[in-house]
Chains A and B, each alone.
Chain A
């Protein structure tokens, strides 16, 4: 804060000068924020109560009809199922893997850096490109995955039910299979995301006081598990909350893989019909702006709710 020297002339100027400058500097950002972020929300909110389509001169108010549809029609039921399945599967696993990888890498010291790089690569790579690579790997006959699985036929692996069926009748179609499709998407989502979580956890790990580990040792904590429970896990509290929230938000936004694999339809029997894809399909491809807006509003609601919970949890839990 600049102290105002009374001996300087123009005492009134500095403050109002600052105020003008302040508003001036903030103005472009403010306008853009309003135009690009806030106005669209309102527009989406309004449009969700209509049956507007792009290109039509006017529209009718249909009240909550769109929302009703969302909660009754089976397509949308699948949408919720797919989205939530994805989020509930991907988030815990990618957070857990991220934590595990971070712990392992951290304990390795310098050598760990190589693994850190490797595990972070999927995060960097264009998801679409990698999705196509994965798609080919999962090709039922010439894909690497099934070919690798076939190698296991004729060995003791065949005793496991999965392999027994697979070796006999051929391994699953993966992306073409209603039961497996969503799990494949989940897998790719985890593959892509856990490196990011790992990096965040690594940062959290480095901020744990080393002497706490010594104290734990003196107190009798012999195994890695005990040290983890006593020192590491509590120290990672805020980090974990953050990682989970970020992962959730990213998980809700999944789109690239779905659209790449099944440009029309969202998976075999719509088993991978996630919210973002639904918005895309209904709103853009089918030009049903009303429903698209309704889905958008719901989506926003989920995301905001999650973030608010994170803030609240951080306030409460971080008590040092």
Chain B
């Protein structure tokens, strides 16, 4: 019924993406071959072009093809090249995906960036959340009010001034630029504070009696109890920043080595012509898969995370 129709629409692009990552250019253009494509051997035109036999090759090759004239030798060499250059579309697409553009590098960047962002966010947010939830100090309410106010500000909105600032500091095209604006997660502070408020005061007093400094309390007492909320927040943060396109697009303009996965994909697209669609879809599949796999494995946590963050 309705749900099934919805499923079709929702899954259509995924289907297409994976399917095309498995097909040859010809199949793509003609729209045939079912989901997996027929996986016939195809010939990579670029590979062949690169290995076009020149004069010297023909001479060298004539030894191997006795009794043939130059044209014949050339044809034979071409046939060899073609044989060398033929492969199954799957292999073609995915290997091109990894070689035409440094996909591994991009994926690595994605990991580096999301991990850095998340770790710094925790380091900044946890102590602040603890202080706001459990410590009494003059101005606490004002600070919390400020936190609430900052919740209203989407970081993407202030991209422009941030960019100017970074440009002035000469920090564009660096990892720092990709990571720094996200280090303050007001949302994280808010979430953690709500969570910390439910931790019984006695636990903290006991730690104080044991001689722990407040900082130690944050890391040795509060952190372990907050694991579920942290997990939810981690999911939220990693997904958002892995998929983020806007900010890296602004900030990484020259240095391709710094491309995050979405940027890498975009660049791929800009580069290639229509016949490169297979590898592009392969790249897209590779970028999308890690998160989806993680999602399927940890579904419940994911959705808990979203709702926890949403319902306050």
Contact = CB atoms under 8 A, between A and B. Distances in A.
A126 B287 contact: yes
A110 to B, nearest CB: 13
Q: Which interface class (under 10, 10 to 19, 20 to 34, 35 or more) fits A?
A: 35 or more
Contacts of B128: 25-26, 28-30
A128 B265 contact: yes
Interface string A224-260: 0000000000000001001000100100010110011
A181 to B, nearest CB: 18
A168 to B, nearest CB: 22
Contacts of B311: 200, 203-204, 239, 242
B239 A118 contact: no
A296 B155 CA distance: 11
Contacts, number: 265
Interface string A120-145: 11101111111011101100001010
A129 B12 CA distance: 14
B166 to A, nearest CB: 11
Contact of B201 (A2, A200, A263): A2
A238 B6 CA distance: 27
Interface stretch (A41-49, A61-69, A172-180): A41-49
A1 interface: yes
A100 to B, nearest CB: 8
Contacts of A253: 154, 156-157, 246
Interface in B153-188: 153-165, 167, 180-181, 183-184, 186
A32 B185 CA distance: 9
Contacts of A262: none
A52 to B, nearest CB: 8
Interface string A204-231: 1000000000000000000000000000
Interface in A261-312: 263, 276, 279-280, 283-284, 289, 292-293, 296, 299-300, 303-304, 307-308
B11 A118 contact: yes
A18 B262 contact: no
A124 B292 contact: yes
A120 B288 contact: no
B136 interface: yes
B37 to A, nearest CB: 15
Chain A contact residues: helix, strand, loop or mixed: helix
Given A121-B14, A133-B16, A43 B164 contact: yes
A159 interface: no
Contacts of A124: 239, 291-292, 295
A144 B291 contact: no
Nearest to A206: B307
Given A108-B3, A124-B239, A242-B311, 10 more contacts: A37-B184, A40-B162, A104-B3, A119-B10, A120-B303, A128-B262, A130-B288, A196-B306, A199-B303, A303-B154
Which 3 pairs between the two chains have the least Cβ-Cβ distance? A22-B137, A29-B128, A21-B214
Interface of A: 1-2, 15, 18-19, 21-26, 28-30, 32-33, 36-41, 43-44, 47, 54, 101, 104-105, 108, 115-122, 124-130, 132-134, 136-137, 142, 144, 147, 191, 195-196, 199-200, 202-204, 239, 242, 246, 249, 253, 255-256, 259-260, 263, 276, 279-280, 283-284, 289, 292-293, 296, 299-300, 303-304, 307-308
Interface of B: 2-3, 6-7, 9-14, 16-17, 20, 28-31, 123-125, 127-128, 130-132, 135-140, 143, 146-147, 150-165, 167, 180-181, 183-184, 186, 189, 201, 204-205, 208, 213-215, 218, 239, 242-243, 245-246, 249-250, 261-262, 265-266, 269-270, 277, 280-281, 283-285, 287-288, 291-292, 295-296, 299, 302-303, 306-307, 310-311
